[in-house]
Structure 1
Amino acid sequence: MRLRGLIHVASILLSLATAWLFVRMYFSPSWKAISLRNWQGSSADLPHTKPLPNKCGNQKSCPENFFAFKVISGAASVVGPSICFENTVLMSNVKNNIDRGLNVALVNGTTGQLMKTDTFDMYAGDVKQLLDFLKAIQEGVIVIVASYDDPATKLNDEARAMFTEMGSRAASQLGFRDNWLFIGAKGLKDKSPYEQHIKNDAAKNKYDGWPEMLEMEGCLPKKLD
């Protein structure tokens, strides 16, 4: 009888304790009610979906009516250049469509669609091929250029002048094994802000006989009709 009484008392105490905890949990200001969402896991506890990377892997996204781009020059005579436009790689080692000299991609300035790519060997090639290519470009077409190895040995005054008319500041100064990145357009009235140039300087070169690789990324305004 005594044992049964103790069990009964213990049961009552346990019930009281459970009721006290229930009251504390739902009515005390220091406790928070547990909802189904809390039980399954709050939004803070759920795994967050990582934001999609910016186009071309750029550091910043581009506003509406702008194209995203990233252009990288060649590194010495070992690693070729690459051109990415609106998250599409237009030219690269992987695509196997780059070569020594000037690597050029033409893009529709309104739609962003690739029109043509070509390479021009400016060390041992024929500059006439480059001249014919440049003369055929229509106004409003975006011209993207990335150098590799040597962009200038065969680059004559006529070709330099044509790049200058597209907005280049550096075309007239390009020398043997310089690195050069440029985005311009035929009929551009002002100088292009999308250009980088580094001279081949034995005292400053990063590689043996070549300057360091260049990289340029940003947002290019669309040509609006």
Structure 2
Amino acid sequence: MIHPRKDKLRFVFAVVSFIIFTSLVLRLLQTNEFKPTNIMERSVGEENPVELKPDSNKNGPHAGKCGLAASCLSGFAFKIASGATNAVGPQICFDGKIIIEKTVGHGRPGITIVVIKETTGELIKTATYNMWNGDVRELIEFLKSIEDGSFVLMATFDDPATKLNEEARNMIAEFGSAYVSKLKFRDNWVFVGGKKTMTQVSFEQHLKNDKSINQYGAWPEMIEMEGCIPRLD
């Protein structure tokens, strides 16, 4: 028989956990300059059509696209955020267009990829691959399909590494990543590189999953990265 006191403690713990989770989601939704857009849903691992809208930049007349503090005078602005725990998904903004918006409670676990044409800044395609229980061969085929002269933007959510094998890691390393070989279970990682682009591109941030210092218990904190990619004359 369950003791009434233990039953009450379990109820209190459940209520407190719900309040903490709700507060976390609300706080994370307010941590950056990204605004919601109309993005069509797709199956994990498939290329997805997207409907792009301008970001709502309210940082003043001299502010840059994607919420940057200053304009990229002769380049493409970008801003990327990884997911947070398994509650809030990643976001990717490029040249003032929000391509991937954050979602709450579901969305894009694994690695989300955006491919951009170097010469024009045009969106070519996007996809997400589940690296917890998905098929890494699908990711490899997608990486192979990326054409030369493309920028490649990546952001993680929840677990990016369990199914990520050496072949896939090597291919991503060829795009300019220095950290993909070290990526492990529930690490957070954001990356901008290129496949045989004329402009040398490599932006990257990596945060290890370490329960002794994690901000969210079993997950590290969300990471953000922004910058400018030179535009070809």
* TM-score after normalising by structure 1: 0.72
1:131 partner SS: helix
Q: 1:108 aligns with which of 114, 117, 130?
A: 117
**2:72 aligns to what?**
62
Q: Deviations over 1:13-51 (max 9, x none)?
A: xxxxxxxxxxxxxxxxxxxxxxxxxxxxxxxxxxxxx52
Residues in 1 aligned to 2:198 and 2:204: alpha-carbon distance in whole angstroms: 16
1:139 aligns with 2:148: yes
Preserved contact between residue 167 and residue 189 of structure 1 (Cα < 8 Å): no
Preserved contact between residue 73 and residue 215 of structure 1 (Cα < 8 Å): yes
Preserved contact between residue 165 and residue 188 of structure 1 (Cα < 8 Å): no
**2:176 aligns to what?**
167
Preserved contact between residue 85 and residue 157 of structure 2 (Cα < 8 Å): yes
Instruction: Report % sequence identity.
Output: 48
Partner letter of residue 58 of structure 1?
A: L
Preserved contact between residue 175 and residue 199 of structure 1 (Cα < 8 Å): yes
How far the C-alpha of 1:145 sits from its partner, in A, is 0.1
Preserved contact between residue 170 and residue 181 of structure 2 (Cα < 8 Å): yes
Residues in 1 aligned to 2:133 and 2:111: alpha-carbon distance in whole angstroms: 12
Where in structure 2 are there 5+ consecutive unaligned residues? 1-59
Q: Aligned in 2, Cα 1:74/1:138: closer, same or farther, shift over 3 Å?
A: same
How far the C-alpha of 1:188 sits from its partner, in A, is 5.8
| Root-mean-square deviation over aligned CA pairs | 2.2
How far the C-alpha of 1:193 sits from its partner, in A, is 3.5
How far the C-alpha of 1:187 sits from its partner, in A, is 2.5
* TM-score after normalising by structure 2: 0.70
Preserved contact between residue 167 and residue 188 of structure 1 (Cα < 8 Å): no
Q: Deviations over 1:43-91 (max 9, x none)?
A: xxxxxxx526420111121012x10000000011011110000110001
Larger radius of gyration: 1
1:76 aligns with 2:55: no
Q: Aligned in 2, Cα 1:189/1:160: closer, same or farther, shift over 3 Å?
A: farther
Preserved contact between residue 92 and residue 98 of structure 1 (Cα < 8 Å): no
**2:231 aligns to what?**
222
Preserved contact between residue 91 and residue 98 of structure 1 (Cα < 8 Å): no
How far the C-alpha of 1:93 sits from its partner, in A, is 2.9
**1:182 aligns to what?**
191
How far the C-alpha of 1:186 sits from its partner, in A, is 1.4
How far the C-alpha of 1:189 sits from its partner, in A, is 9.2
**1:88 aligns to what?**
97
Q: Aligned in 2, Cα 1:98/1:52: closer, same or farther, shift over 3 Å?
A: farther
Residues in 1 aligned to 2:138 and 2:168: alpha-carbon distance in whole angstroms: 10
Partner letter of residue 226 of structure 2?
A: E
Residues in 1 aligned to 2:231 and 2:200: alpha-carbon distance in whole angstroms: 17
Preserved contact between residue 68 and residue 85 of structure 1 (Cα < 8 Å): yes
Preserved contact between residue 62 and residue 71 of structure 2 (Cα < 8 Å): no
Preserved contact between residue 79 and residue 93 of structure 2 (Cα < 8 Å): yes
How far the C-alpha of 1:164 sits from its partner, in A, is 0.5
